Amino acid sequence: MNTSALITMVASFAVITFMTAYYFIKVLRTPPKDPQNDSYSETN
Amino acid sequence: MANKESWGSRVGLILAMAGNAVGLGNFLRFPVQAIQNGGGAFIIPYITCFILMGVPLLYVEWAMGRFGGKSDNHSTPFILDSMDKKRLWKYIGVFGIFTNIAVAAYYCYLESWTLSYMYHSIVGTFKGMDQGAIASFFNSYIDVSNLQSGVGIEAVIFWILCLFLNTWILSKGLSGGVEKTAKIGMPLLILFGIFLAYKGITLKAGHDAAINDGTLGMNYLWTPDFSSIWNAKVWLAAAGQIFFTLSLGMGSIHCYASYVKSKDDIALNSQSAGWMNEFVEVVLGSSILIPIAVGYLGIDQVVEMTKTGGLGLGFKTLPYLFQQWGDTMAIVAGVMWFGLLFFAGITSSLAMGTPWMGFLEDEFGWSRQKGAWSFGLVVFILGLPTVLFFKEGVFDEYDYWAGTVSLVVFALIEIILFAWVFGIDKGWREITESADIKVPNFYKFVIKYVTPLILAFVFFASLPDIWKTINHTATKTEIAEASNPQILKDEIYAIRNFELNNLSDSQIYFGQNIMNEEKYSKAEKAAIFAVREKSNLYKTYTAESFSLNEFKREKERIMWFKNISRPFLIAVFGLIAYMVHLASKRRKTLKTI
């Protein structure tokens, strides 16, 4: 691959993968505010 | 109000919402758009549109949905109605039901192809077939009206099976059906995607009959042509891609979010689902179709094939290329590729069913099962013309009016309602209420001014195209060119004269992998393909076997079918608007009681 293609691809992949992982991990790590009375029927 | 639906878990909601966004377009449309609009440089307008249009609309649609849910509204007519006193809004909200069922009508058919191709990959139908035979198989498959082909009936069976599957899952409810499917489908989709991307990128010339390295395809897709970012058409393409990929302007996000309570977050949820879709589209979507196709066919052929979109490559070419990997791997890769497309499809089509069901459950007290089966029936009736008259362009017509124009119109109106009628201060409170992340204040400005302007740009820039579609300009031009091939000859001469001065005919017609030549600009490469394409048409229209009258009759038939589809879709819209009117009257009666 040529340098410009490689840089564009790696930069795009890195930013998007980072943002996806960042937000998803944040969802997993955020404790429920009121587990008994929230929007979700399954107990956390 | 009988609607007692709820989500099972937060992760389930995010996966369902991401599944709603991730569709076949992530794998078949995005890489083609990137190739046609500046290669790697396409990511600049694409991400800019994501940040300035996609992210704000995600915030807005989630916020509108949750706001509507507070007063037990789970479909856009009454979600919009709850935001302002004017009666007009609930009729604007009809778009949020109409678009979903009209898109589901043709989308479920597309989804059924993936199911069928998965089956054929397992039973080894494609084993020993050459590329031409696999392409013919696809052509007979979609030729449902030609019963002699035998495969056409099978397409109908798989379509009904697919509709039944969608309806059955919907009848199990949000957490028991939609969410469970997303929890299984999304991880599998990502797993299959990673495996196929690995196979695509590591493809080596000389191994498994490949003629190029897979990285050559990645190189072609990602080589940036920065001059393209000054082209308004590229920006329009990027904005359009963001629209379709995130399922914005459809009403399904509103519906899913309406089951979230006000004390629960929507800001982080919307970002997590939105970025997950971007990961699937940009990282996985760019690493499968193009590297594998270029590895076996070369760049020139792939570029020619992508001109008609990614469907041809996905269904006519990839099954053949998988055969080169050996018997077992052909089955594995076929199941993974079509399985991945199937999961992408079904998680989206399920989302299309929920606004209709939510509307009937809320307004007419229907049970979940009754709502789901009525959705299946409506999609069957609406979808039948797209199946039977696929070749006559009914499918494309639905896609254009319901799956393209309606989305832009509805999104433009909803953001004006949210930012200017409902009020940005109130709207901002809705977005940030119980948020688990800090929403940058800059989005308050973006939602009020920038996103509406971008949407207005997209809408007004599309008007010439809409006008051309209404008038069948492309078909009429083709008839004119066929009637007088000199038009094509003049056009070929003009392109050569103005854009290909330094290139010989042999380079234009026979150059191997000319797309890989760095000395030619993107415009020159596009011109080479335009000349090739127009020359082929010229040859067709001047061949002795060509019958002009037959050609004209065929084109006129297509225009007739398209002309019939339009009032049909308008009638469906009108019918839903009437149901909304009845629901509104019913609400008033219930209030007085």
Q: Position B17: which residue type?
A: M
User: Can you tell me the ipTM of this complex?
Assistant: 0.96
Q: Position B433: which residue type?
A: E
Answer whether A27 sits within 8 Å of B261, measured CB to CB. no
Distance from CA of A8 to the nearest CA of B (A): 6
Report the residue count for chain A.
Answer: 44
Best mutation target among B172, B223, B277 (most A Cβ atoms within 10 Å) is: B223
Predicted TM-score of the model (pTM): 0.93
The chain B residues in contact with chain A (CB within 8 A) are 6-14, 39-41, 43, 47, 175, 215, 218-219, 221-224, 259-261, 263-265, 268-269, 271-272, 275-276, 278-279, 282-283, 286, 434, 436-437, 518
Say if A31 is an interface residue toward chain B (CB within 8 Å). no
Distance from C-alpha of B301 to C-alpha of B286, rounded to nearest angstrom: 18
pLDDT (0 to 100) of residue B184:
96
Say how far residue B271 (Cα) sits from the centre of its chain: 20
Distance from CA of B118 to the nearest CA of A (A): 29
Q: Position B514: which residue type?
A: I
Distance from CA of B340 to the nearest CA of A (A): 19
Under DSSP, the state recorded for B224 is B
Distance from C-alpha of B453 to C-alpha of A20, rounded to nearest angstrom: 27
Beta carbons within 8 Å of B429's beta carbon, 6+ residues apart? none
CA distances from B422 to B229, B275, B418, B431 (A): 35, 27, 5, 13
| Residues from chain A contacting residue B272 (CB–CB below 8 Å) | 20, 23-24, 26-27
| Residues from chain A contacting residue B175 (CB–CB below 8 Å) | 41-42
Distance from CA of A20 to the nearest CA of B (A): 5
Task: Give the residue from B456, B458, B585 showing the smallest Cα distance to B45.
Answer: B458
Task: Give the residue from B370, B272, B353 showing the smallest Cα distance to B74.
Answer: B353
Angle between the N-to-C axes of helices B486-499 and B522-542, in degrees from 0 to 180, rounded to the nearest 10 = 160
Under DSSP, the state recorded for B308 is T
Answer whether A26 sits within 8 Å of B437, measured CB to CB. yes
Say if A28 is an interface residue toward chain B (CB within 8 Å). yes
Three-state helix/strand/coil letters over B521-569: CHHHHHHHHHHHHHHHHHHHHHCCCCCHHHHHHHHHHHHHHHHHHHHHH
Distance from C-alpha of B497 to C-alpha of B162, rounded to nearest angstrom: 52
Distance from C-alpha of B138 to C-alpha of B158, rounded to nearest angstrom: 14
Distance from CA of A17 to the nearest CA of B (A): 6
SS3 B314: helix
| Residues from chain A contacting residue B279 (CB–CB below 8 Å) | 16-17, 20
Q: Which residue of A has its CA nearest to B282?
A: A13
Distance from CA of B278 to the nearest CA of A (A): 7
**A&B contacts, CB < 8 Å:** 109
- Give the Cβ contact number of residue B459 at 10 Å: 16
pLDDT (0 to 100) of residue B2:
57
Handedness of CA B506, B512, B515, B519 (dihedral sign): negative
Query: Strand pairing partners for B39?
Result: B224
Answer whether A12 sits within 8 Å of B40, measured CB to CB. yes
pLDDT (0 to 100) of residue B568:
96
Report yes or no: B495 and B530 within 8 Å, Cβ to Cβ.
yes
Nearest to A8 among B222, B259, B279 (CB): B222
Structure tokens at B66: 């949750």
- Give the Cβ contact number of residue B480 at 10 Å: 11
Report yes or no: B15 and B277 within 8 Å, Cβ to Cβ.
no
Answer whether B268 sits within 8 Å of A23, measured CB to CB. yes
Structure tokens at B178: 């939609």
Task: Give the residue from B368, B237, B221, B385 showing the smallest Cα distance to B299.
Answer: B221
Structure tokens at B220: 């072609």
Task: Give the residue from B570, B425, B579, B422 showing the smallest Cα distance to B90.
Answer: B579
Distance from C-alpha of B185 to C-alpha of B14, rounded to nearest angstrom: 13
User: Which residue carries 């709603």 as its tokens?
Assistant: B20
CA distances from B284 to B65, B280, B289, B410 (A): 30, 5, 9, 30
Answer whether A4 sits within 8 Å of B272, measured CB to CB. no
Task: Give the residue from B208, B186, B202, B192 showing the smallest Cα distance to B332.
Answer: B192
Best mutation target among A23, A25, A26, A33 (most B Cβ atoms within 10 Å) is: A23
Structure tokens at B173: 């409810």
- Under-70 pLDDT residues of chain B: 1-3, 146-151, 511-513
